Amino acid sequence: MRDIADGRADNSTLVKPRMKVAMGIKHRRSNLLPYLLVLPILLYEGVFIISPIVQGIYGSFTSLELASNKPQVWVGLANYARMFDDPEFWQSLKVTLIFTSLVIIIALGAGLLTALLFNRPFRFRPAARALLMIPWAFPEVPVVMIFIWILNPQFGVINVLARLIPGVNENPQWLQVPELAMAWVVLIASWKAFPFYSLVMLAALQSVSQELYDAAKVDGANTFQLFRNITMPGIATTLELLVVLASIFSLKQFSIIFLMTGGGPVGATETIVMRIYNAAFRFYDYSYAAAMGVAGFLISLIIAIVFIILQARRAKEYA
């Protein structure tokens, strides 16, 4: 009996270390799983995003002439000095800021109005929400092609409505007049983007507690007071995020401007992105284009940093 008991004790003492080893291996595998899942994303970011950024920054400090067999030459800050002395760059920066500001105001304003509308119960609201997303879902190229046809000065549909305005006797040249071209580029970009902002703000509105509105109504608050004191503070964080996203999306907007006006007329719609494209692929000035690309990247980075600072301050206020 003692032998049997001793055998069982020996087996139990052997089994426990084996179980500990197996549990340790399983624990290490579970710890490695999150890293394995993130690895494809890190590889994608490194190859297609971080690597081009690094190459662009390095290229901005060099001189590269692809038309010749000359090697890439380090020139230091020469491209940046040229950029600061280039009046066309500052003009494109001015156009970019005007375009971005107008798109933010119009797209976010339209998004907020439609979000407030769809936050109220009414008949066929799900169908209306689905129709709202159509502009955002359509690809940009077909949308721009349709608008180019609509704005055609000879047979465009919009001219039928324009001729109904008193004093308009000729078909307007919508994309040939600088002010009109900028207005239509802004309107199309805003029309294309506002459904996304509306959907995000609608989700933020639905997260605001209805009890706050009910209590304020009992105290006699009117509609404007409800909006100012409950709705806006409740969606302030979301609005800040959307302002950042709208700024970055507008700064890098290319296809609508390229297809509508190509940056014209006379540079009226030539944003930084269009300026970079023209310098790189029309004039083959890749190094100078890289320097302007770094400038655009820094502007986007500053906007993101400002948003992070605002979020940190807001978090301290609520802490």
Average pLDDT in the chain: 85
pLDDT of the residue at 4: 47
pTM across the whole model: 0.83
Which has the closest alpha carbon to 184: 276, 114, 268? 268
Q: Is 67 exposed, middle or buried (0-12, 13-18, 19+ CB in 10 A)?
A: exposed
Quick one: how far is CA 73 from the chain centroid? Answer: 35
pLDDT tens across 263-287, in order? Answer: 888 889 999 999 999 998 888 888 9
The CA–CA distances, whole Å, from 46 to 54, 90, 299 equal 10, 32, 22
Q: Where are the domains of the chain?
A: 2-59, 77-318
Angle at 205 between CA 203 and CA 207, to 5 degrees: 75
Which of 298, 261, 74 is CA-nearest to residue 184?
Answer: 261
pLDDT surpasses 60 at 24: no
Q: Is the pLDDT of residue 199 over 60?
A: yes
- Tell which wins on pLDDT, 96 or 8: 96
Q: What is the pLDDT of residue 202?
A: 92
Q: Averaged over 215-226, what is the pLDDT?
A: 87
Residues 307-316, mean pLDDT to the nearest whole number: 80
154: which 2 tokens? Answer: 């000879």
49-55's contacts with Cβ under 8 Å and 24+ in sequence apart are 53/297
Residue 50 in this model has a pLDDT that exceeds 60:
yes
* Mean pLDDT along residues 207-217: 87
Cα–chain-centroid distance for residue 220?
A: 40
User: Is 77-318 a domain of CATH 1.10.3720.10?
Assistant: yes
**pLDDT of 13 higher than 70:** no
